[in-house]
Chain A
Amino acid sequence: MRPKADLEPAVSVGEPTAGAPASAAAPETGRRRPRAARRRIRRLTTRDRLVITVLLGLPLLFTFVLVWATTLASVGLSFTNWDGIGSAKFVGIDNYKELFTNYPPFATAIWHNLLWLGFLALVATPLGLLFAVLLDRKIRFGRFYQSALYLPVVLSLAVIGFISQLIFARDDGILNTLLGTTGPGQHPVDWIGDPHINIWVVLVMAGWRHAGYVMVLYLAGLKGVDPSLKEAAAIDGANARQTFFRVVFPVMRPVNIIVGVITVIEALRAFDIVYAINGGTNGLELLSVLITDNIIGEASRIGFGSAIAVVLLLISVGCIVAYCMTELREEKS
């Protein structure tokens, strides 16, 4: 019954070409629609239109002004040398030139963001999928496992940052105590202070949280899979693994896309956990931290910070476009 209903908007969108003589007849929008658009449209009274205009207009206005307009404004700022106080001077692509040639933390931050993405995509996300698959059937204690694995998701990354310090601190952290390297004459590993190691510690903590998030999304996705598909596959002689990889996983495409997008976005947005641990310095540089430091830090290099933001934006836009394309294809089919 759904496909038929989905066709209706196509009719009303294509309306101007459909009823050329009718549109010339009456200026009032309510009358102009051809009979093809029928029932639903005609039923909108003036009061309905008012309700829709206000309640749809407000969130649209919010999103336009605060999200889209400000993003565009940032792109504009990235071509200036504005410091937040004086007037902004247009400097062309100077900020970008400096960013790529004369700003060492930038390369480090890009590398860390990519590492973050790689870790989430290759370790944390598959782990979350595995948890979801294991918990999707009715098993004893299922609810307990589910809660335990999900719990880190509701914690703030700031809290996770503090917990990491508790575990990974050099002199009296839990991990070093457990390893027995805290005594005198020992050389305990400085998990958080060593710039070569700390990024991995942070990744483990971020992955700890991300896996639970992915698990929940996939649990929701698996519930939506038609059980008759699995039965059909079983009748055809497919084993559990084949059924999952050949039937269930491909059918979950919409969820896969969401999880993919969320994974990328989480990797690009990562901020709180490193900020809570050491302000995002000394081996924990990330693009988001560099932007924040430049913009609200003492130097107040807003133009320069915006240029970093635009680089981050460009990477995100790549994902957004990919997402929109798939949605568009879904909509058409």
Chain B
Amino acid sequence: MTAIAAGPATPKATGAKGPRAAVAPRRVGLHVFLAAVSLLWLAPLLLAVYASLRPYQETAKYGYFSLPHHLSFAYYREAFTQSGMAQHFLNTLLIAVPAVLLTLFFASFVAFCIARVRIRGGFFILILFTAGNLLPPQVMVTPVYELFTRIPLPYWMSDSLTMYDSYWGVIAIHIAFQTGFCVFVMTNFMKALPEELREAAIVDGAGVWTQFWRITLPLCRPALAALATLEFAWIYNDFLWALVLMSSGDKMPVTSALNNLKGQYFQDYNLLAAGSVLVALPTVILFFILQRHFIAGLTLGATKG
């Protein structure tokens, strides 16, 4: 919880009263409730991990709720090699990393123009972006597909020679779609930042770019960390756009690699569980890395007191 105090935009957060008033029975009840709910929330994940460590024959014979006879990472090896997961992980990174970075960059600048430079029509730009993010993506599917098949790309950029079936197309649509949410959060965050620093920079003759890149953006670290976690999870987990805008199986992102583990006639759930855990791992790790900044960063509109 240290991050909350570190967040520049939430000075009020530390204003809470002493941590513990009294250890009342209600406290105990609260902890029992929260612990039970947390366990319930984690149970499916823990069960998936547990199942993935045991051979199928064993769980089939003794059931999933039995003490383990054999525990091994064999399924992880199998899931990783059988689905060609290394390649699919790479594909996902090639899509998600540039998409997240560019989305955050563009969204921060748009937010900066709206909240700080206060350009004319800023409010309508904000609405345009936010409302765009609320549109259902299925509505855009056909025209985007048609558009991308018509945009030629040189061979070094895409071996399909069009935006269709290339990472460029998927990255572009993610940026276009996700910028909306980020503009919205960043605008609210920047509005709450103190102005003095930037004003001092203006007096020193700093241009818009310096004010943005050197002065404002470093203050936005918590918000950027929060958005990076969310956006990475969303883009990483995307199913629809890859399905629509890609045709070569070897270019598919990692979420679709799980399909390779589904047997034609026989479903080895333990293998699937291992695959699911592997696929989920990067987003979980990123969450734990950026967690300190997480809540502090998501200032969703200041509430006036």
Interface residues, chain A, with chain B CB atoms under 8 Å away: 2, 5, 8-9, 12-13, 40, 43-45, 47-48, 51-52, 55-56, 58-60, 62-63, 65-71, 73-74, 77, 131, 134-135, 137-159, 162-163, 165-167, 169, 172, 174, 177-178, 182, 208, 212, 216-217, 219-221, 223-229, 251-255, 258, 261, 265, 268-269, 271-272, 275-276, 287-288, 291-292, 295-296, 302, 305-306, 309-310, 312-313, 316, 319-320, 323-324, 327, 331
Contact = CB atoms under 8 A, between A and B. Distances in A.
Nearest to A174: B64
Secondary structure call for the B interface:
helix
Contacts, number: 339
Nearest to B19: A138
B134 A320 contact: yes
Given A149-B41, A316-B135, 16 more contacts: A5-B195, A55-B109, A60-B110, A62-B172, A66-B172, A69-B143, A147-B288, A154-B287, A156-B255, A156-B279, A159-B258, A178-B65, A217-B298, A221-B300, A287-B138, A309-B138
Contacts of A166: 44, 47-48, 51, 269, 272-273
A151 B287 contact: yes
B125 interface: yes
B207 A51 contact: yes
Nearest to B34: A145
A227 B118 contact: no
Main secondary structure of the interface of A (DSSP, over half): helix
B136 A309 contact: yes
Contacts of A268: 136
Given A134-B34, A251-B305, A172 B269 contact: yes
A68 B133 CA distance: 10
Nearest to A258: B300
Contacts of A302: 142
A212 B295 CA distance: 12
Nearest to A305: B142
Contacts of A77: 142-143
Given A142-B1, A163-B276, A220 B295 contact: yes
A150 B290 CA distance: 13
Closest 10 CB pairs of A and B: A226-B305, A156-B237, A254-B301, A220-B298, A70-B143, A66-B176, A148-B38, A73-B143, A154-B283, A59-B106
